[in-house]
Chains A and B, each alone.
Chain A
Amino acid sequence: MSITPEQMEILPGAAEGSMVINMGPQHPSTHGVLRLVVELDGETIVDVVPHIGYLHTGIEKTCEYEQYQKCIPLVERMDYLSAMNNSLAFVLSVEKLLDIEVPPRGVWMRMIFSELQRIASHLVWLGTHALDIGAMTPFFYCFRERERILDMFEQLSGVRMFPSWIQVGGWRADMPEGLLEKIAKFVEEFPAKVDDYEGLLTENPIWVERTRNIGIITADECIALGINGPILRGSGYAFDLRKANPYLYYDQVEFDIPTGTVGDVYDRFLVRVEEMRQAARIIKQCIERIPEGPVSSDDRKVVPPPREELDNSMESLIHHFKLWTEGFRPPEGEAYVPIEGPKGEIGYYVVSDGGNRPWRVKTRPPCFMNLQALPLMSRGHMVADIVAIIGSIDIVLGEIDR
């Protein structure tokens, strides 16, 4: 079959005799609106060119017009499956600009919720990844547990997906009564649930057949392409920002970095499943060690005063009014604090001009960088494998397109 001029147009480099097909942007396995132009020789993939931008909403531009604390709901909508991790990364950068400290209870709480969010994100990944390949049961199992995590977010903030409960200097408010016990019960029960997922998949011959030796990438290729996180770990390189450059109190808790050996879809699956167990382990230690006390800094120039102070303190009322109308002004400078997100390194490069709105906010989007590996991983495999490979990269288009 020779290629037509229209096909030439969508993939100019395609070879004579190959077939060029368009996959997406409305394809159920692309997890959003990803368009792929695939060049095929028979059923074998010769090349893949990803086309992105269908979900571009200009969040970075919008952030330049909003006060710092009003950027938090915006950045949470980038990676909509791990909202808390996005707002945490943004807030850490702004706190570095401001040079303020969060009290210990606030920091432990941030660790608890960032790990809960990691579990929630991995659960969606596992459910949809398995569904793409044809295993339907894990999807229901994973969403059952994710629902419990979202219920906890709702109990904390009243919102399930995008809590926006982290604020610069700490948290909007402490956890309500009983939530910590609920989380403790969840992490106690969760490892057994992970065993259930593994029982369905890990030794399932169909699953192994579909994922073993598919989409192999070496650690050196990952590093050259700017990929870290579970993909790099799946290729056998034990790197985790929580260990390498500990932020929050990650240097005070014990956890392991799971790694793969081959760097295929199956290894990435094993790494993420193990990461869920490790996240539960971290949360357990956090709950043991979390002290009583305030969750937010008492710097009234940055953190709004508690509601009860407004009734009897004129100064608090003024601070409250100034913060919610005008905001705070970090000193001129640039800051970048990366964190280990569920998909890799998330960080916000925040540039301040000394005003109350950021001059520039730039995400370091893990999925955007990870997507660059797709052509490399797909070449030489069957067209059906591309679905497994996309699933194993764990892309969220909201973050890629921003």
Chain B
Amino acid sequence: MSETTAQEMPERPEVTRIRERFPEAVREVVTFRGDTWIVLNKEYLPDVCRFLRDEPELSYRFLSDIVGIDQLGRREPRFEIVYNLYSFRTFTRLFLKVCVNEGEAVPSVTGIYPGANFPEREVYDMFGIVFEGHPDLRRILMPDDWVGHPLRKDFPLGGEEVVFDRGTLGPSVAEVQTPHPGESFFGKTGLSSRE
């Protein structure tokens, strides 16, 4: 990322407070276009969330969303999970980020933000990241018997077998796929940023 480091801008009070309270927790602070991301060591995540929520002058009581990102081929560790928090006192937004590798679990924040229930299930469904302590960690959007996690970068777009009546299998998407117009143009100019 081309983001500038926090030293160039005055540090947000939330960041200072977290650093004071949990000196071990903060791995990195990133700012980009006025927003702040705090990259945390994952074992501190519930404590930091509880601190942010309960501290009266911070009051980050609202968990807006949880975003899973697969950084396969871009960054290590592979998965990033972004917690989008909002404060009803200061009307500001703060992003917490934890990074995990394949097979690593993340502590659930459902005990602190009950609204994390569905979003954590979605991240589990789409990326296969296990949230420890989640009360009901099941697939949410994909069928219960689905194999794989669709939003992973190594999961192909299309290609699922479609079952037609009488139990026969129809043509798979891969068989009927035509090249994307933009793709072929890329090949010609050699400007592709990805494989």
**Interface contact B141-A333, CB-CB below 8 Å:** no
**Interface contact A335-B194, CB-CB below 8 Å:** no
**Interface contact B3-A333, CB-CB below 8 Å:** yes
- 20 A/B residue pairs, CB under 8 Å, sorted by A: A53-B140, A53-B142, A56-B142, A58-B150, A61-B150, A61-B155, A61-B157, A224-B113, A226-B62, A226-B115, A226-B116, A245-B91, A327-B182, A332-B3, A336-B35, A338-B93, A360-B70, A364-B84, A401-B141, A402-B141
B191 interface hit (Cβ, 8 Å): yes
Contact of B64 among A224, A325, A345, A359 (CB under 8 A): A345
A378 interface hit (Cβ, 8 Å): no
A356 interface hit (Cβ, 8 Å): yes
B166 interface hit (Cβ, 8 Å): no
| Segment 149-178 of B: residues with Cβ below 8 Å from A | 150-151, 155, 157
How many angstroms between the C-alpha atoms of A60 and B123 in the bound complex? 13
**Interface contact B74-A353, CB-CB below 8 Å:** yes
User: What 7 A-B pairs come out closest when comparing CB atoms?
Assistant: A226-B115, A355-B193, A53-B141, A225-B115, A364-B65, A362-B67, A56-B141
How many angstroms between the C-alpha atoms of A368 and B120 in the bound complex? 12
Binding site for B on A (CB under 8 A): 52-53, 56, 58, 60-62, 64-65, 67, 96-97, 99, 223-228, 239, 244-245, 325-327, 329, 331-336, 338, 345, 347, 349, 351, 353-356, 359-360, 362, 364, 368-369, 371-372, 401-402
Interface centre among B68, B88, B118 (most CB of A within 10 A): B118
Shortest CB-to-CB span from A318 to chain B, Å, is 13
**Interface contact B115-A227, CB-CB below 8 Å:** yes
Residues on A with C-beta less than 8 A from B63 are: 226
Closest to A362 in B: B67
Residues on B with C-beta less than 8 A from A326 are: 182, 185-186, 189, 191
Q: What sequence of 0s and 1s flags, for each residue 61-79 of chain B, a beta carbon within 8 Å of any chain A beta carbon?
A: 1111101111000100000
How many angstroms between the C-alpha atoms of A65 and B151 in the bound complex? 12
Shortest CB-to-CB span from B100 to chain A, Å, is 16
How many angstroms between the C-alpha atoms of A402 and B122 in the bound complex? 11
**Interface contact B193-A353, CB-CB below 8 Å:** yes
Shortest CB-to-CB span from A102 to chain B, Å, is 16
How many angstroms between the C-alpha atoms of A385 and B1 in the bound complex? 50
Kindly list 16 other residue pairs between chains A and B, CB separation below 8 angstroms, not including A224-B114, A326-B182.
A53-B143, A56-B141, A61-B155, A64-B157, A325-B182, A326-B185, A326-B186, A326-B189, A327-B182, A334-B32, A335-B32, A336-B35, A359-B69, A359-B74, A364-B65, A372-B118
Contact of A364 among B61, B64, B142 (CB under 8 A): B64
Also in contact, A347 and B65, with CB within 8 A (given A52-B141, A61-B157, A325-B185) = yes
Shortest CB-to-CB span from B163 to chain A, Å, is 16
Shortest CB-to-CB span from A324 to chain B, Å, is 9
How many angstroms between the C-alpha atoms of A355 and B154 in the bound complex? 18
Residues on A with C-beta less than 8 A from B119 are: 226, 368-369
How many angstroms between the C-alpha atoms of A152 and B93 in the bound complex? 36
How many angstroms between the C-alpha atoms of A104 and B185 in the bound complex? 35
B7 interface hit (Cβ, 8 Å): no
